Structure formats: structure tokens, C-alpha cells
């Protein structure tokens, strides 16, 4: 397995500091499986609770505690994914995976006063960009778990089978199906510098309320999806077409007023945030194809903006 225990005999000391050394890997795994940092943290907390519910003798009988923690966390994620579909059927509007900032932009602390090291958070790479996570949402829970464990975290299909509760051959098929979905949705990569330039141009045109410039930056068949979760106002259904996207966007700016728009990395790619009176009110991720913006994801649900600092931005 890819998760390694602490050096020194290959055993993980059941003390808090040693157990917590697995936290970063577990958070990375659970976020990719669930698309929600809040749910990922809940899963990791439940995983630790199950470890500490065992006696010291039971803990000592586990040859590879890191592998045990991963197996338990993965199974909890599978259960969460299975129930998430029903929850999202009642979700108000569209559900978008929780956006993540660069590690340096994490809130360095929690409401309970415990400082959180950004290193314990999620490592950003292609497997957490918004387009990738949205495709994962279209998969069955078993497909998603098999694909993430094997293709992203490099678990063998024998190990995946033990976690998913299916045969290695069945897990291979699940991962292959998921891989086809990813491949079908993947467009040629746009260099990061070019993406950043297009997003910067979008920001400037948005600030200037230049409708023509905004339309020119979007693919004619572009799609915009907003997620307010019923907590704040947001368009409840995807909006398609450059002009249909741009005019409500300009109206949104005028309605809120006093917006500050900043360039930020969102799930490892160039994105934007908008602040009103110093508080973040929207985080935007972009999918850029052939130098045009093909998709926009705008997250407004305050619960999903929790990882972003709400202090003054620069």
C-alpha cells in the first residue's frame, strides 16, 4: 500500500502523535473520495475514534496500523458516498465539490482554538481539480473508490477488493469504467500560465462590466453552475451559453455592490474569489479549453467556503 507507517520496526505507536502522522494521507484520500473537506475530516475523526475504541492489546495485534486506518477510512467513505446520493437529491440547487485554496491560504486554526498545520491538509494535483472532481461525482460509489484507490493512490486490486468487498477482477472493471469516464471528459491541457492569463482577463472584464469582452472569453456553449445550497441566493440550474452566463454575472455584481475580485488558486488551478466587505462570498473555478472558458463553477454556499480565510485579502 502507499501509506507507510512510522519508521522503526514498521509499527505505528498508538500514541496520539504517531497516529496523527497518518492524518495527511487519510485527509487526502477522503477528500478525493468525497469532494468535501468537512466530510473528509468527519471520516478521519471517525476512523481515529474506532482505533482508540480498541484495547491496547487489540491495537498491538494489528501488524500495519497505517493500512488498517486506510481500510477503515475507505469503508466509511464508501458508506458516506452511498448515502450522499439520497442527500443530494434534496440539496437545494446544484451540488459542487468543496473548493480548496493553496495550502498557504488555509485558515491556520479552528474554532476550537487548535492550530491546524496546512501540511495536514490536501495536497493539490490533477486529481483534485474541479473538472476531475465533477466527473467523479457521476460515478457509482464503488467505481469512485476503486479508481481513486488504484489509479491515484496506487493500491493493488487485491487491496482494493478487500476494502470494497468485491473480487479483484470486479475492482479492475470498476476502475476501468471510471477511467473511461475520465478520459471521455478530459480536454487537451491548457498551460497554467495561459489559464492564468485568461482568468485574469475575465476578472478585468468582470470588474469593468464589459459584456462583450466577457462573452469573447467564453466558449459559445459554455456552462456555468452555481452552488448556494439554499443558504444564499444562487441560480438553481446550470446556465448554458456565453451571453446567458455573462448578463446575470454582471447583474450579480451590481446587486451585491462593493465587490473585490481577486485571483486565487482554486483546487490547484487559476481561479477567482469575490469579497464583500472583506468576507468571501463566492469562489470560482474554471475549465479552459482551446483558450476559451468552457465551464465555470461558482460556489456560494458559506459552509463550503469554510477552508478559505475570511480575513482581509490582498
Residues in the chain, pLDDT under 50: 1-12, 14, 106-120, 310-312, 314
141-172: per-residue pLDDT in tens?
Answer: 999 999 999 999 999 999 999 999 999 999 99
- Residue 22 is predicted with a pLDDT of 87
Q: How many degrees, rounded to 5, is the angle at CA 227 between CA 147 and CA 311? A: 100
Residue-level pLDDT at 44: 95
133: left (phi over 0), alpha (psi -120 to 50) or beta: alpha
What's the confidence (pLDDT) of residue 116? 44
Q: Round to whole Å and give the CA distance between 270 and 307.
A: 17
Domain boundaries, the chain: 16-185, 192-305
pLDDT recorded at residue 8 = 37
The pLDDT score that the predictor gives to residue 253 is 74
pLDDT in tens, 271-282: 999 998 888 999
> What per-residue confidence (pLDDT) applies to 11?
45
* Rounded distance between C-alpha atoms, residue 208 and residue 4, angstroms: 51
Structure confidence at residue 109 (pLDDT): 39
The topology under which CATH files domain 192-305 is Nuclear Transport Factor 2; Chain: A, (3.10.450)
Rounded to whole angstroms, what are the CA distances from 76 to 80, 130, 211? 6, 23, 47
| pTM confidence score | 0.84
Amino acid at each position: 500500500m502507499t501509506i507507510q507507517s512510522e519508521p522503526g520496526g514498521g509499527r505505528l505507536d498508538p500514541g496520539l502523535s504517531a497516529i496523527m502522522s497518518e492524518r495527511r494521507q487519510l485527509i487526502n484520500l477522503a477528500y478525493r473520495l468525497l469532494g468535501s473537506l468537512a466530510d473528509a475530516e468527519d471520516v478521519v475523526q471517525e476512523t481515529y475514534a474506532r482505533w482508540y475504541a480498541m484495547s491496547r492489546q487489540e491495537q498491538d495485534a494489528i501488524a500495519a496500523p497505517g493500512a488498517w486506518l486506510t481500510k477503515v477510512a475507505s469503508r466509511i467513505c464508501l458508506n458516506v458516498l452511498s448515502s450522499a446520493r439520497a442527500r443530494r437529491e434534496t440539496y437545494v440547487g446544484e451540488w459542487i465539490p468543496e473548493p480548496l485554496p493553496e495550502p498557504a491560504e488555509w485558515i491556520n486554526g479552528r474554532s476550537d482554538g487548535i492550530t491546524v498545520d496546512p501540511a495536514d491538509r490536501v495536497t493539490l494535483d490533477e486529481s483534485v481539480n474541479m473538472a476531475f472532481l465533477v466527473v467523479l461525482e457521476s460515478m457509482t460509489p464503488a467505481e469512485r473508490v476503486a479508481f481513486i484507490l488504484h489509479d491515484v493512490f496506487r493500491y493493488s486490486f487485491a487491496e482494493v477488493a478487500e476494502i470494497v468487498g468485491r473480487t479483484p477482477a470486479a475492482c479492475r472493471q470498476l476502475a476501468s469504467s471510471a477511467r473511461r469516464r475520465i478520459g471521455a471528459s478530459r480536454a487537451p491541457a491548457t498551460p497554467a500560465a495561459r489559464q492564468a492569463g485568461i482568468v485574469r482577463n475575465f476578472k478585468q472584464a468582470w470588474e469593468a462590466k464589459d459584456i462583450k469582452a466577457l462573452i469573447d472569453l467564453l466558449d459559445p456553449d459554455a456552462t456555468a453552475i452555481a452552488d448556494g445550497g439554499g443558504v444564499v441566493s444562487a441560480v438553481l440550474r446550470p446556465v448554458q451559453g456565453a451571453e446567458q452566463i455573462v448578463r446575470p454575472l454582471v447583474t450579480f455584481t451590481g446587486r451585491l455592490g462593493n465587490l473585490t475580485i481577486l485571483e486565487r488558486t482554486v483546487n490547484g488551478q487559476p481561479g477567482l474569489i469575490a469579497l464583500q466587505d472583506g468576507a468571501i462570498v463566492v469562489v470560482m473555478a474554471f475549465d479552459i479549453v482551446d483558450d476559451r472558458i468552457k465551464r465555470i463553477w461558482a460556489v456560494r454556499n458559506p459552509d463550503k467556503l469554510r477552508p478559505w480565510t475570511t480575513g482581509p485579502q490582498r
